Amino acid sequence: MPQYEYVCDEDGEVITLLRSMSQADDPVSDPQGKGRIFTRRLSTFGVSGSEGGTAASPHVHVGGCCPCGKPQSACGRQ
């Protein structure tokens, strides 16, 4: 089941709910019971890379055909 983020326009509080896609835009009850209105927002996520990564490229492509990331047969696997 997907997670959706909802933000309160009054104070900026963000909550995350597990909901089916068909319920994504249904009204959300205020978890604190204050009557605040929450609207769905587009979720974002962060990606971090290994040491030596740059802001322009925060991740590393390992390539190769071996699950360890080395070129095929370089680690002794066939």
Q: Pick from 42, 58, 38: which is nearest to 50 by CA?
A: 58
pLDDT per residue of the chain (78 residues) written in tens, 0 to 9? 889 999 998 999 999 999 999 999 999 999 999 999 999 998 776 666 555 555 555 555 555 555 666 666 666 655
CB proximity list for 69: less than 8 A, separation 6 or greater: 62, 63
Convert the pLDDT of each residue in 38-60 to its tens digit: 999 987 766 665 555 555 555 55
Domain spans in the chain, listed from the N-terminal domain onward: 3-41
Q: What is the pTM of this model?
A: 0.54
